[in-house]
Structure 1
Amino acid sequence: MPIYLYWGEDDFAMSQAISTLKQDNLDPNWIQFNFDKFTGDKEDSILSALMQVMTPAFGIGSRFVWLFETNICQNCSEELLTQLQRTIPQIPESTHFLLTTSKKPDARIKSTKLINKYAKVVEFALISPWQTEILVKKVEEVAAEKQVRLTPEAIKILANCVGNDSRLLWQELEKLSIYQGNNQQLIDEETVKNLVNVSTQNSLQLAQAILGQNIPYALELVNDLITLNEPVLRIVATLVGQFRTWAIIKTMIELGEKDDKKIAESADISNPKRIYFLKQEIKNRSAKQLLSSLPILLELEASLKLGADPLNSLETKIIELCNV
């Protein structure tokens, strides 16, 4: 009785895995008879899926029943739990039962414990943007899967370009695969920069450049972002959010707070582990410096909303921010 629970927010990676699972277990000539997809947040629909998994497959191949975006692992009535307990152990070997959800299963409830007992559970979590080593490793894995050969520096550039966007990573590696063809030479960083249609720069990098008081690099990033038609108010919103977070963290540190969980809560950061990395970023800056950046950013936002020239306004205020 092959049962699978796929969960997580990386919907593209999950969809790729689901596609592979279907291809491996469904005969294309019998797919209309043996494939069923049910909405997973309504009890009637879930009960219908449980009835369908007990139906033998027609013709060649297996039956595939997919319970989409189910809430079984978050909320399950006693009646539904009873039906799950009756059905899951009896599912035929010829049926593949897939449950998917973007939400993390609640390990405390009985339905989750039951499914965990019988199912293959796979998490499809988005990699946090600051986990650069994991992002690089992800690029390496997908590149190897697609047989695209890249230099280590090219891998880093590509990871920086696509971030945690699995769909974009897949698309860009498809492009690089076509470019490489049968050529066994490694693709270098310059080739990646020329072929990948996303900026190697983003607003968070701009914030880092300002924090490091690197005026030439910051101005280069501004020009790149404007050239790529990045909405200027979105750039400012990102800068405001980043400097606000840095300012809160540094203020709490200077007030003597050592509990990362409390700091994360005050800074509205869901993962306390991120605090360690943020502390490293601002170790050479004071709370006063970081706080004084916010009025400058608010002035920039106001001037842009009043119709000021985006590039000139950004360049002027970026230089001012770097000199704080």
Structure 2
Amino acid sequence: MLAKGQLSKLELKKEEIIRVVKKFGVILIQKYREAEVWNSGAIISYYLLLSIFPVMVVVSNVLPYLRLDAAELLPYIENAVPTYFFHQLENLLMNWFSKSSGGILSIAVIGALWSSSRGMNAMQVSMNKAYGVEPRRNIVIIRLFSLILTTSLILCIMVLVIIFGFGQLILEYITPVFELPLMISETFQSLRWPVTVSVLFIIFCVLYYFVPHAKVTLKSVLPGAAISTIGWMLVSQVFAIYVEYFAFGAKTYGTIGTFMIMLIWLQVIGSLMTAGAVINASIEVYQNGFINEPKPFRTRKYIRSKIKVFSNKKYVIKK
């Protein structure tokens, strides 16, 4: 049996844990409401849906130049989306990725960047609400920032795909030359799940670090990025199980059912992306009691001050 002193310590520790959970829960609920997570998820899912087909056109035109087979890209997509959704669209994806259409490539690039940047802007508005900070006032800087960040994320994903695409080819070439065991190539092929999880985690870290107009550290964005990554994978698996055993109507209606499942999945994923920032903001408020807001970048005032200083200077031309 425990002594009275030990029992009182356990009770105090239990009360402290309950107090911490209650306090953090109140902050989390408040930030969730302020960020309007579900509404922002609907906006993000809308622009994600608009960007799917332009991105497919861009990828189908890039793969032939990189000498990559579309079959090497599909396993990574399969791990990140519900299984039923992937199997329904697998043939469509193969047809898209195996055919290039250079005539509409420029239009597809513009469409992909526009829709993705608009989704990024909606995400930024929601994250700023979660952190309780003022958004950037210059609309040009906002649009330019969203475009640059979107382009960087797309390039990051493409680089990772290229690395693992060429990595497999390199292993197949050097294995007989250096008499390496076949286990290395098989292990490399089995890394699809870790690669998918790592890519998602890196993307969420980048989003939560750069998108909010708040002064955050890399360490402070890790909890939300980890929870969003785990949530993404769990949601995809839950959707797959639900469709397999319960959603008989989705299989009956074919394409329409697949489209409805995709819309719901995108809605949940869009909300999940914002929810990670809400978790980070809640932890920041719980630990510090406030959120640091960076000083605004006053472009007009800065330019005017420089023009004034330049006009007041007197220059003497030496003969």
Q: TM-score, normalised by structure 1?
A: 0.23
Larger fraction in strand: 1
Higher relative contact order, chain-length normalized (CA < 8 Å, sep 6+): 2
Structure 1 or 2: more helix by fraction: 2
- Report the TM-score when normalising by structure 2: 0.24
